[in-house]
A and B are shown apart, each in its own frame.
Chain A
Amino acid sequence: MNRKVLLIGLAIVVPIVLVLFMNLGRDPRKVDSPLVGRPVIDFSLQEVSSKQPMDIAALRGKPMVINFWATWCVPCYAEHKVLTRIARANGSKVQFIGVVFDDEPAKILRFLAENGSAYPTLVDQGGKVAIAYGVYGVPETFFVDAKGTIVAKHEGPLTDSSLMNYIAMVTGGAR
């Protein structure tokens, strides 16, 4: 009888302990993106300053950093400074693109006038591109290599060092 109880207890406890152990280092709020490892989703949106449509398919062949943000997002202010600074230094080898959703063009233009701009900013009215990319919130950033494969997704604001690590990943260069 005791042996039977022990076996049943083990059958319940061992899988629970295993699952907990396997996920010890995992952030419970993080959900893996099914897009990582898959081809980038092409989209065309209007650039906020020039009002011209921009198709990212035309940029194929160059690594890309696609950053989803909004002017109402407080962490995006600090991140914008990081992105602008690093885009100015690395713009020749990586194409930076900002995608703003749930926002108004007038506010975006004011934000860029006050905080600077070093790359195209596209307006995603209706959030269709954000939904296609499975965006949960802002800021979120996708990193695409020269072959057009999404190699990583970063949730939350980027720092100089994390951004440089991702750039090394998409350019195939070591830091």
Chain B
Amino acid sequence: MKSLLPVLFLALLAAFPIGAQEVQLPAPDMIVGQPAGQPLTGAALEEQTEQVAGQLRCPVCQGLSVFDSPAPMAVNMKHQVRDLLAAGYTGEQITRYFEASYGEFVRLKPTMSGMNWIVWLAPIAMLGIGIWAVMSFLRRSNKSQRASEAVPDAGAVASAEADDPELLPYLLKVRELAYGWPGGNPPAEGDRS
């Protein structure tokens, strides 16, 4: 029986020759309205086909546009883009036409609306936060460097002591803890180095 299959198959082909077929689908104007542009031909048509198909994501590829992909599905879509441009539909109408079937996924560039703002603004926000973080780090390190350079001298210490004798015990303790001076008293000039 299996050996008869190819014969039956060829007989079926001969009985029903396969010719060009007509596909009937709802007209594009039912989805995106009447053509809003001028019907294109020649070089302008090819140029616009490249531009519009270049903005559409190939559904069966990884990150390739319909224009760049050699996949049969992408080639079919490119043909449709060309047909629609020749019929006078604009690039935006054509994108919306494919969006009706595939969703926003088909746009290589997401629109600036709704949650998509995050996609557009996040890189700018992250750059701003990065600059702010670097600036504040630099400012802080400059401040601590200045503070470490500002070691009090004996004269300044003496005047502070004279200002408020009641605070003297606390001042001495702080100095002892902060600078390691025994009893909070500054070392003699010769011991400072």
Contact = CB atoms under 8 A, between A and B. Distances in A.
Interface string A9-40: 00010010000000000000001111100000
Contacts of A137: 59-60
B16 A49 contact: yes
Contacts of A114: 5
A162 to B, nearest CB: 23
Contacts, number: 95
B23 A126 contact: yes
A102 B60 CA distance: 13
Classify chain A's interface size: 35 or more
B24 A102 contact: no
A135 interface: yes
A57 to B, nearest CB: 9
A160 interface: no
Interface stretch (B73-81, B154-162, B182-190): B73-81
B101 A35 contact: yes
B12 interface: yes
Contact of B73 (A35, A45, A130): A130
Interface of A: 1, 8, 12, 15, 31-35, 41-46, 49-51, 53, 55, 102, 105-106, 109-110, 113-114, 123-137
